[in-house]
Amino acid sequence: MAKRDYYEVLGVDRNADKDTLKKAYRKLAMQFHPDRNHGNAEAELKFKELNEAYDVLKDDEKKAAYDRFGHAAFEGGGPRPGGGGGFEGFSGGFADIFEEMFGDFMGGGGGRRGASPGRGADLRYNMTVSLEDAFNGRQAEIRVPTSVTCDVCDGAGAEKGSKPIACPTCGGRGKTRTQQGFFTIERTCASCGGVGQVIENPCKACSGAGRQRKEKTLSVNIPAGVEDGTRIRLQGEGEAGMRGAPPGDLYLFLNIQPHPLFQREGADIYCRVPLEMVTASLGGAIEVPTIEGKRAKVSVPAGTQTGRQFRLRGKGMSVLRSPSRGDMYVEVAVETPVNLTDRQRELLEEFQKDSGVEKTSPQSHGFFDKVKELWEDLRD
C-alpha cells in the first residue's frame, strides 16, 4: 500500500509552521497512543505513521528534502517503522548511477580504476530498542549475515602457491576499447569483471572470490539520547571486498519502540495520569513513574481539572552527546467514581443538594447558561 502524504497524515497545510505541526502531532498521537487503544492494530499503525511523518516534518533538512522529492527522498536510506532486528544490503548511490549511465563514454572514473577490485558493499541493519534503552544507552550484540575475507586464501582468491595473472583479454587494464565511427568506447572487461586479473587456480573454499558468506557477531554501543531513525555507522563492518579490496560499512538504523506509559517528543516526555475525583477536588499529592525507573511527587492543587499539565524539569529524556535532559509533562485525567455503595451515593446526593452549581462547577454552569440563552434567541 502506498504511503500517505505526511501533511495529510498530520492533517495540516503544507505551509504549516513548527508550532502547528507540533500541536497537530500531539493531538493525534494522544488519540491513537497504544495505551489508549489496547489491542487495536489499526490505531497502532496510525500511531507509527504519525511518528514517522512528524519525525520528517519537524526537521528542516528532512522537510526540505520531502517537499522536493516526496517519499523518494528517504527510500533506501531512511528509517523504516516497526519491526525488530532486520538486515538488508545496499550499495551505490548517485555516483554509481552516473557511472553506469555515462562511464563508458567518460572513460570510467567510478569505483573501479585500473586493476583494482571492487570495494565491498555497504550493509544496513534495522534494530528496535526500548525507550528505556534510548534513555540509558546500552551495549548490544547483533548478528549480521555478510561476506567476510576467505580465511583459506586470505582474500587472494587463488590456491596457496599460485597467483592471479594479467587478464589476456584486456592486458590487465580492466577495460576494453572498441571503435565505433568517430568514437572510441571503453567498457568494463567481461573476462575479468574489471579487476584486470584472472585466476588460473581458484581457491576451492571461495571459488576465487576471495570472500565467503558467513554470519558475524558485532558489539554495538547505543549512546544515550538516540531518537527514532538515528543512524550509526560502523566503518569497515560491511561486506568484504573482492580479492582483498577494502570492505564496505555497516549502517545501523534505530527504531524506538512505543512505550505503554510515556510518549516522547524530542527530549521531552509526556505521561497521562488518572486522578481520583476527591484528590482533584480537595487537592493533594500523587506519585508518578519516571523514565529512569523512579518515582516523582506531584502536588495537585484543589479544583484541578482534566487536561491540566504539571512540568517536572530535568525528568525527561537524555540528550545525545550532552549531560542535559529534557522535561517531563504530567497530564491529569480526573476519574469519575464507579461502583458506588449506597452510602457513597447518599453522600453525593447530599453534596448535590447543598452545593451551588455556579460555585462548585462554574464551567458547566456557564456552558448551560449560554445554551439557555441560545435557545431563547431561537424562539424569538
pLDDT in tens, 139-168: 999 999 888 888 888 878 888 878 788 888
Q: Same domain for 329 and 363?
A: yes
pLDDT attached to residue 1 = 58
Q: Same domain for 67 and 87?
A: no
pLDDT attached to residue 281 = 93
271 is in an annotated binding site: no
Where the chain has pLDDT below 50, the residues are 76-116
Q: Same domain for 155 and 220?
A: yes
Neighbours of 292 (CB within 10 A): 12
- Please answer whether residues 85 and 166 qualify as being in contact, where contact means their C-beta atoms are separated by less than 8 angstroms: no
Q: What is the CATH number of the domain that holds 305?
A: 2.60.260.20
Rounded Cα distance, 84 and 128, in Å: 5
224: its cell numbers:
544515550
Count of structural domains within the chain: 3
What is the separation, in whole angstroms, between the first and last Cα of the chain?
55
Q: State the pTM of this model.
A: 0.57
Q: Same domain for 94 and 242?
A: yes
- For residue 170, is it within any domain? no
170 is in an annotated binding site: yes
167 is in an annotated binding site: yes
192 is in an annotated binding site: yes
150 is in an annotated binding site: yes
153 is in an annotated binding site: yes
Neighbours of 104 (CB within 10 A): 15
Q: Same domain for 129 and 8?
A: no
Q: What is the CATH number of the domain that holds 66?
A: 1.10.287.110
Q: Same domain for 355 and 374?
A: yes
pLDDT attached to residue 365 = 58
- For residue 185, is it within any domain? no
Q: Same domain for 48 and 108?
A: no
Q: Same domain for 90 and 224?
A: yes
- Please answer whether residues 245 and 121 qualify as being in contact, where contact means their C-beta atoms are separated by less than 8 angstroms: no
pLDDT attached to residue 280 = 94
Strand ranges inside the chain, DSSP E: 86-90, 122-129, 138-149, 165-166, 175-180, 183-188, 197-198, 211-222, 231-234, 250-256, 262-265, 268-276, 284-289, 295-300, 309-312, 328-335
Q: Same domain for 63 and 206?
A: no
pLDDT attached to residue 300 = 96
Q: Same domain for 245 and 282?
A: no
- Please answer whether residues 269 and 329 qualify as being in contact, where contact means their C-beta atoms are separated by less than 8 angstroms: yes
Domain coverage including residue 330: 262-379
